[in-house]
Amino acid sequence: MAAQSASTIGIVLGELITASGIIRNEIFSEAEVVAEQSGLPVGRVLVMSGHLGEGDLTSALRAAQMVREGKLTRRQATLALREAYNQCIPLEEIVDELLDYVPATRLGQLLASAQIVPITTLCKLEPRAGQHTLGQMLTTYGIISVSLLSHALDLLTLIRNSKISIAQAAEALRICCISSMSPEDALQRVVGDRVFDRRLTKLGSLLTAAEICNDKDLLLAAEFGAEQNRPIGEMLFELGKIDSLVLQATLTVQSMIAAGTLCEAQSIEVLRQVQSKHLPVEELIEDLRDLKKRVVALLKSALLISDKDITRAIEICPAHTHDVARALVSSEIVDVQTVKNAVRCLALMRSENIKGDVAAAAMRHSKRTGMPIETAIRAASALDKPVTISALGMKIVDSVQEHFEQQPQFISCSA
């Protein structure tokens, strides 16, 4: 029985010292051969060969004994042995920390459950969290990457919303860590289904794309939100990164993208305008609706479309009954370049550089000849000087051009 016990401890010893990285597998295999030939314990052979210190052997044997007695799991013993070896301290000190410490933060709990950050590291860093969050310290010290922190915070949001359990999140995070897989794909592997709502564009992604917040702001807000069970938008507002108008606008456009009534490119421009002009999002959306109406009106006055064309476009695309411009493009009655030209002309009309009859004539001439719209405008108005659009006008043009280039993600606002 004693021989069987010694054999069991020897097997566990080999697993622990190789899994902890203290001894490489090939060295341990060589030591086993020598031990069998000499009749010495394999641990003693490793000490005599200089691959293991006497104190390290004592710690490894004690860890193996505790596994056999059920006091430690193999994972806990491997972790404790590695830390004892790296810090050159007795195994018992590490074991006491390992068994007694419970992570104080949700982020710490997830990282510990995923076996990505050792308990011994968390018990040193978490008490220091004050001016800096745990996530900030872990990334600053290079313990985890910023992308892995972002993945962990995404998963914590799903836990907060009762979409997944911490065990599922931990398994998904481990997959992300070892395979560079996205949290969405990792979770699909774990739970067998899509958990993320792909219809909902992330609030943080919209704010960073609109250059209102940066990634550092988002990670900080997300971590505070995870600990306080609050949405990231609220935390950004509380931290002073956005004001209430921008927060409300972002939530509004986020819902509109999900509903298919606003494309992402347009929503980003809307948020920029909310931030710079400090206007309610509803007012800016109304401006966009009005712009689309004026595009259709200009196309009609230029004789590039007729009422019959509009009727036919809606018959082809009945889902866009309230968005004539989208229907015209989706049905291929009007091409995107023609719409771009209309938007440019409207910008010039708005700045009073040209009148409506000149814009209509230029639109016809450009469509017939393929001439650039600016050249067609000069020909139609008999101007020798180049026609320029104001900075504000160019922003409108660029925004709407992006919008029309990203079909079928057009704005389909009711007229």
296 lies in the same domain as 399: yes
What is the percentage of the chain residues whose pLDDT exceeds 70?
A: 88
| pLDDT recorded at residue 115 | 83
Mean pLDDT value across residues 320-329? 83
Mean pLDDT value across residues 70-83? 81
96 lies in the same domain as 110: no
Structural domain ending residue among the three candidates 191, 220, 243? 191
User: 263 lies in a domain?
Assistant: no
Of 89-98, 157-166, 193-202, 380-389, minimum mean pLDDT range: 380-389
**Angle at 161 (CA atoms; ends 159, 167), nearest 5 degrees:** 20
43 lies in the same domain as 116: no
| pLDDT recorded at residue 8 | 65
247, 261, 163: which is closest to 213 by C-alpha?
247
Query: How far is the CA of 99 from the CAs of 64, 102, 123, 156, 204, in angstroms?
Result: 16, 8, 11, 24, 38
Of 90-104, 317-331, 377-391, minimum mean pLDDT range: 377-391
Helices marked H in 141-197: 146-160, 166-179, 183-191
Q: For residue 10, how many other CB atoms are within 10 A of its CB?
A: 17
Give the span between the Cα atoms of 199 and 53, in whole angstroms. 58
Q: Any idea what DSSP says for residue 387? A: P
Question: Amino acid identity of 378?
Answer: R
Structural domain ending residue among the three candidates 276, 307, 336? 276
Residue 150 has pLDDT above 50, yes or no: yes
User: 196 lies in a domain?
Assistant: no
| pLDDT recorded at residue 146 | 94
* Comparison of pLDDT for 283 and 238, the residue scoring more: 238
| pLDDT recorded at residue 197 | 65
**Could you tell me the pLDDT band of residue 106, with boundaries at 50, 70 and 90?**
very high
* Average pLDDT over the chain, rounded to an integer: 83
306 lies in the same domain as 395: yes
| pLDDT recorded at residue 101 | 75
43 lies in the same domain as 91: yes
292 lies in the same domain as 399: yes
73 lies in the same domain as 115: no
| pLDDT recorded at residue 392 | 43
User: 261 lies in a domain?
Assistant: no
Structure tokens at 352: 């009073």
Q: Which range of residues forms the domain containing residue 243?
A: 203-255+268-276
pLDDT in tens, 277-300: 888 888 887 887 888 889 999 999
Cα of first residue to Cα of last residue in the chain, in angstroms, is: 87
Q: For residue 104, how many other CB atoms are within 10 A of its CB?
A: 15
Give the span between the Cα atoms of 178 and 308, in whole angstroms. 59
Give the span between the Cα atoms of 60 and 171, in whole angstroms. 28
323 lies in the same domain as 249: no
160 lies in the same domain as 64: no
Residue 390 has pLDDT above 80, yes or no: no
**Could you tell me the pLDDT band of residue 173, with boundaries at 50, 70 and 90?**
very high
Cβ pair 224, 234 in contact under 8 A: no
User: 410 lies in a domain?
Assistant: no
**Could you tell me the pLDDT band of residue 324, with boundaries at 50, 70 and 90?**
confident
3 state SS for 204-257: HHHHHHCCCCCHHHHHHHHHHHHHHCCCHHHHHHHCCCCCHHHHHHHHHHHHHH
Q: Is 260 left (phi over 0), alpha (psi -120 to 50) or beta?
A: left
pLDDT in tens, 5-22: 555 677 888 888 888 888
User: 321 lies in a domain?
Assistant: yes
Mean pLDDT value across residues 155-171? 90
Within 13 Å and on the Cβ side, how many CA atoms surround 226? Answer: 28
User: 260 lies in a domain?
Assistant: no
Number of folded domains in the chain? 4
Residue 214 class from Cβ within 10 Å (0-12 exposed, 13-18 middle, 19+ buried)?
Answer: exposed
288 lies in the same domain as 389: yes
96 lies in the same domain as 60: yes
315 lies in the same domain as 394: yes
User: 222 lies in a domain?
Assistant: yes
User: 149 lies in a domain?
Assistant: yes
123, 115, 181: which is closest to 154 by C-alpha?
181
pLDDT in tens, 257-271: 888 777 788 788 889
Structural domain ending residue among the three candidates 71, 100, 129? 100
